[in-house]
Chains A and B, each alone.
Chain A
């Protein structure tokens, strides 16, 4: 029996199957490309032939697209990323005290003491220093993102890059390039800038104790990991499933919830990958708020709404097992 976890993030959509002893038996990392439902659908399609619906005992969703995903797959729980990441980290290593998570659009720090989240912080309104920014710089330098970290490790001379704002960083990088600095030195400078920004912004005032886990897509970047170790003077561990920790957490949370409430899963089955999912948005003219309402359609039938502030659409009940926790 497995628990399904889906983490719909800004850059990637991750799907995992976790067995009863907590092992990850299946893991998919799909680029979201701004189309969350298509990403989830294509992920489930890959699993459809290998697994039977009956093997799925529970399903959970997390990430910034958790609402849409939970409607789509029929999740038992839709939980925020902080809780999901913390749960996965503690299950992996009960000793963990600090989780650094840098994803596509968010960066977070989670402080854990004796297995309990005692503090956390996320980046504020801007997404500087996150994965999507690195992605863009890699593209601009024409270096595959996978090799970005290796380039940083080859640096010999540290070049200082402004890290406070993505736009500042980019113009600083271009100026340094124009002056002829080596690309690997600039990349290393960028990694250091990102870490500096993270520590003085997201992690400001927090007590970072060992053991430190580094998860999220950006943890693949060896340059960033090394920059963290240099700054913190602590070993920074990257767990084997660093890139899907949120999805693992969602799977664990869903399993725990059903066990606690002794309920059966609302997972709709892998056949949803054959269905056609669409969303359309419209501006509600009911009041001057002009909310941008999103309607999720499964085979042309509305299965859920969100985005309205007053609940005019949101509260409509549907036979589908959409859950908002």
Chain B
């Protein structure tokens, strides 16, 4: 049996798990290619117009492999941490794919809760039964998959360059170098080190968000906001570059939250959509690096701290 795995959305976080699980079950794995123009075009063509770019691109990935596989894994991820949720678009992802793309093969529709191994195994039992009815095989594949996932923790942590920036944003934007116009390589070529939120432990981010009035609703919000505060306090970064997809609701909350707490600390927000002209991104990144260099050159010149900020008064 050929299992299709689209290389989009949380593939970038959980690919080790899905790939190991289904290959251990004895199926052939078809992963879509890196995002490219054809995939982007197909995604935009099939997907509903209002969705964000990563969801559109995911449609393109699904469409690019649909004719080569018997079963498509469209994980309906509901939650990855207790009392926290992820973007609501994931709840309806299988339906979006089934109804937007013509002639899709069978699709996994089982909701996927990843808050503990028990829940995860429940999903594996039902999704694995498409390949085999032998629950011992599923159990063994599940154990290998969990091990593979734990081993392959993603994330970038480059310290000790002339400047270090935190690259923040959803993993499906940070690690898709077509979507983000190769920003990781652009930064590295300028001699900039990159740190991503995975470098900060889960416990530290939980500590950090205790200062908030309300507990974060989204796991991703806690992770990125918490990591930004920790990295800033430990003085590991000179600036934050936030990659956001146009019209992402979660990003809009996180960006404002970070801004509220960092005061004058430099942060560049790059909004990405279908644009492929790189001049806009290049200009912003180049100007941001220029600014960081001059600040560091002037011994971390920091003007009188802005009146901060959580009183609800906006300086403008």
CB-defined contacts of B116 to chain A, threshold 8 Å: none
Give the size range of B's interface with the partner: 35 or more
Do A118 and B287 touch (CB < 8 A)?
no
Do A289 and B178 touch (CB < 8 A)?
yes
CB-defined contacts of B276 to chain A, threshold 8 Å: 292
Do B316 and A80 touch (CB < 8 A)?
no
Among B269-283, those with CB < 8 Å from A are 269, 271-273, 275-276, 278-280, 282-283
In angstroms, how far is the closest chain A Cβ from the Cβ of B156? 19
B266 within 8 A of A: yes
In angstroms, how far is the closest chain B Cβ from the Cβ of A129? 15
CB 8 Å contact bits of A111-122 with B (1 = contact, 0 = none)? 001101111111
Given A116-B294, A117-B290, A309-B182, do A199 and B38 touch, yes or no (CB 8 Å)? no
At the interface with chain A, which of B144-152, B210-218, B295-303? B295-303
In angstroms, how far is the closest chain B Cβ from the Cβ of A53? 29
Given A81-B283, A118-B291, A288-B37, do A125 and B316 touch, yes or no (CB 8 Å)? no
Do A205 and B315 touch (CB < 8 A)?
yes
Residue of A whose beta carbon sits closest to that of B285: A80
Do B287 and A83 touch (CB < 8 A)?
yes
Do B283 and A290 touch (CB < 8 A)?
no
B117 within 8 A of A: no
Residue of B whose beta carbon sits closest to that of A288: B36
CB-defined contacts of B95 to chain A, threshold 8 Å: none
Do A207 and B246 touch (CB < 8 A)?
no
Partner of B303, one of A64, A113, A205: A113
A124 within 8 A of B: yes
Do B316 and A206 touch (CB < 8 A)?
yes
Do A120 and B246 touch (CB < 8 A)?
no
CB-defined contacts of A199 to chain B, threshold 8 Å: 316
Given A118-B301, A207-B306, A288-B33, do A82 and B287 touch, yes or no (CB 8 Å)? yes
- Identify the A interface with B (CB < 8 A): 64, 67, 79-83, 113-114, 116-122, 124-125, 199, 203-208, 287-290, 292, 307, 309
User: What 10 pairs across the A-B complex have the smallest Cβ distances?
Assistant: A82-B287, A288-B36, A113-B303, A124-B271, A290-B37, A207-B315, A80-B286, A80-B283, A80-B287, A125-B273
